[in-house]
Structure 1
């Protein structure tokens, strides 16, 4: 197509009009460019927050996963040498079972379409490879972070029932605990269920994780009974020293390290200045509470028993950690130390109380995780004005009744069908020989039987 011929004057008018049009359009172009730059900056900021949030979940998750090693070492040191292989086997088995069950049904029960009391019975899945995730973090990172928590609850049960429980009944209970009991209870709070709507607060799981494990352990200890040589004919307590305090101490330090992921990553975000500051505050308060628990147990055992018992001190650290877990963000440094110190005091006084009740807890998990977990949850309103003592008590009661009754039913069925205890002969010889077939310390055969 050909354009019509134009005179010089026509060309001048056309160029002038074109220049005027371009000049008047500059503000619109500038506005569009600014809007485009703002959208690009917002998208970049969103991607950055997504990456940092996901990284927080992954780092927190592998720190909590490392706590499985801490529990294994702690329990291996606190039991007698003839039962060490059994404890190590239970710990690697329960971690694996927890991971499988939390994929098969646990995560969906806890987080998918929660109706206030229970979620969905269905295996959970995440986007295919190469598909961008929607939301504030990668879906699989959230699943991984939540999964390692459920293994912690099962580890608590393992230590309490050590040295006299059969392997397979214990593992079957782990299937039920990690696949059903823990996720259903967890949905009430972290899944947005009825306790969440009430205003119950448990930041990282003093009740949801630790007390749930403690209630399950208590139910099992009552039905299982004490070790045959724990209490004398007149009811007197016969101390049974652990095999290796070096391992128990190593396990405690591993757990202490893992707790930074447990509490810190429960902030659930690292994409802003405020979030990074809060995660740092949580780390600091977590460490202070553990130190407070250690010092309180150290001083109190010296005053009460005239000698310092290292097992009380190790459990004092863990009790301090459990106590601060319900609210590690809002306390001041002094409040964090005090909350942890009360946890250490709880250990010193409740371990003898359990012995008076003839409840045999080999590693002291019930005082550490159940009693200190209750204390930590009740202490939340002391530093967090958005909560109330009444609501906290309702949550503690709900989790206690549900977990204890459900666990008691499962333990009772297992006892009636399979039996829970090894034979007296196997208990005397050691579970490494009777249940596992591999001794942890084969060179100490002569000292295998006390």
Structure 2
């Protein structure tokens, strides 16, 4: 598409957008009666209008039935999980049996590493991206130490090349090949939280398997953002949060994918709890753990129906919109954003640098604004833009498909250019 840098053109794109009605399904923050430009779906997605209704349904059931709400009423909690797996499977490209909704992201990754980090002899290394989100860094550091290893000995970080912010696929594959005889696991992010770079997960998985290692992904910034085909790509495991692009609320329940080939693998170690015990005999309270023969076998504790309900409200919107359409619009939104930013970058040499490449991204675009970044960020905030500041000089924005518009992208860039002019003139 040939883009144009005008508000009229942006409004034309919105008029032609078949997903535009979904914006009305969300509560948009307002200030002085005016809707704000919310570009923070990569941090906390907005609240669907139906969330409160689904939460109240659980509360009413609790009030009416007490603990029997797990078994009684119009929507027994014991079967609530079954409503979540199919829409999630469509979002991440998996079989429903490969999906489990439980816990939070880092907890789930620790549990998955118990099963899928299997050091044997000199094959004990984990290869990961340098400067991953801190939780992943702390996760790996503490997990391998608990296994009796020194993180400095077994964790291999792949750095961007000198002067670059992104890690190329070629560099990742070269690192896998270089360490192929010592790798136990390749653990990577689907989309980098800082740069917005989307990684070639299919190629990474294939290379890891070719080297004799397992491969897993943190999809915190990928699930609900970009097209995923985890089963087709033969990914071993993955986990994600649901409060970002999946719009399921602060502290929302997380999710995991575990390839079906592991569902009946008795050789895998795992931490167990009674909610992962086979359903037919769970309430007999017998000794000896017998897992459910699906991804649900990795569950530990009784889940919260309230968290399920908030998640379900959002997943219904994804099911109606379709992940293919959402991913396509997300790409178009960020493509238009990059088109406008490139014009600003050309007109303001040295004041702004675009970090995110058009060839490997989702919704998020990251912008480097040296020296005057804080002033520019404050200017766009005062104009009603919700964006994200990352020290020392990066602004992250993520126009998302369900509730953002092309006109908002145009207005953001207008405010950004005004902010650059105001800050540089001081």
TM over 0.5: no
Which structure's residues are more often strand, by fraction?
2
Bigger CA radius of gyration: 1
TM-score, length-scaled by structure 2: 0.24
Which structure's residues are more often helix, by fraction?
1
